[in-house]
Amino acid sequence: MDSIPKGKQIAPFLVFFIIHSMQIGVGALGFQRFIAKTAGYDSWISVLIALAFSHIIMFIIFKIVKLGKGDLIDTHYFVYGKIVGRIFNLLFAIYFIIITVTIVRPYVEILQTWVFLNGSVFWFTLSFLLLAIYIINGGFRTIVGIAFFSVIIPFYLYFIFLFTLPYTDFSDFLPILDHSLQDIFKASLHLSISYLGYETLLIFYPFIQNGMDGKKWAHLGLLFTGFIYLYITILSFSYYSEEQLQHVIWPTLSMWKIVKLSFIWRFEYIGITTWSLVILPNICIALWCASRIIKKTINISQKVSLYIIAPLVLIISLILQTRQQIDQYITWVGNIGIIINYFYIPLLLLLVIIARKVRK
């Protein structure tokens, strides 16, 4: 494992903000539509199940970094050797690149649909990438600072959802367990896509002071994310009917439309622009992970690898033009994320244990 100077490391409590900021993104604006189709008013149970699974995977991740060689890159070398390890590392670099596209492209689509009707995908995406590159070049601590403020500053938006209370009907949640357990688990699998992002800990773990001290803060970050998703789910399903949720593309944004204040008439514009602060650290962390993996695998500077990755993100974003293409891409990447988190990471822990015994 690399020896990171203390001046470049972060306090363990900041892991809370990294994990939470990576999980709350564009998905929080439209996840209700996918789970409503499967579990209906029992979707709040799916939120809790997905949260439980994410805690299990987080426990496994900390086991990997403890028993392995620290971060994912060196763990791959430890398990597979140099040649095969490089291949797996580059596959994960590609994974974080395509994750970056799933963050920036849907948000640009929201900007085009709700705020700037004639906005350019090229210029919006380029602006986000240039800003992200500037932040990443400031070092990992700068990225963490952005993640910290991305949790604190937009937090007022969660109180705005309370404007829906006069129009809600919580009796819709009765009777409980109106859907089969199979449908509820299927919805939790759909929701697991929104929980993705905590696997970045496998990359930034060496930057945590007294690494294992960040364990409780990582789990608290997951717990807070679960609370936010549960909060939005309960208010959404009590405000919309089950049929409405299956057809509204961005239910969270539509809830902001009912807010009417004497000095603000279209509050959703405020909410969407504020949400850019939530999106920014998502982009920065994903790009940083991809560029760091390439740096340690191919032995080039992280700045150079960043200048290689950013144009790839821009090109893929330009290819995705229609709503159907974006939806299919997000679903495809989400399925890859589920395979990595729920199948490969537990398998990697098993391989680390076997490798340790064999080497002994």
Domain-wise residue ranges, the chain: 6-323
pTM above 0.85, yes or no: yes
Q: Write 142-148 long-range contacts (CB < 8 A, 24+).
A: 143/281, 143/284, 143/285, 143/288, 144/10, 144/14, 144/17, 144/18, 146/280, 146/281, 146/284, 147/14, 147/17, 147/18, 147/21, 147/22, 147/281, 147/284, 147/285, 148/14, 148/17
Architecture of domain 6-323: Up-down Bundle (1.20)
Under DSSP, is residue 191 helix (H, G, I), strand (E, B) or coil?
helix
Provide the residue-wise pLDDT of the chain in tens; the chain has 360 residues: 567 878 888 999 999 999 999 988 888 888 888 888 888 888 888 889 989 999 999 999 999 998 877 789 999 999 998 899 999 999 999 999 999 999 999 999 988 888 888 788 899 999 999 999 999 999 899 999 999 999 999 888 888 888 888 888 888 788 788 778 888 888 888 787 788 888 999 999 999 988 888 899 999 999 999 999 999 989 888 888 878 887 888 888 888 888 877 777 778 888 888 898 999 999 999 999 999 999 989 888 889 999 999 999 999 999 988 888 988 998 898 889 889 999 999 999 999 999 888 877
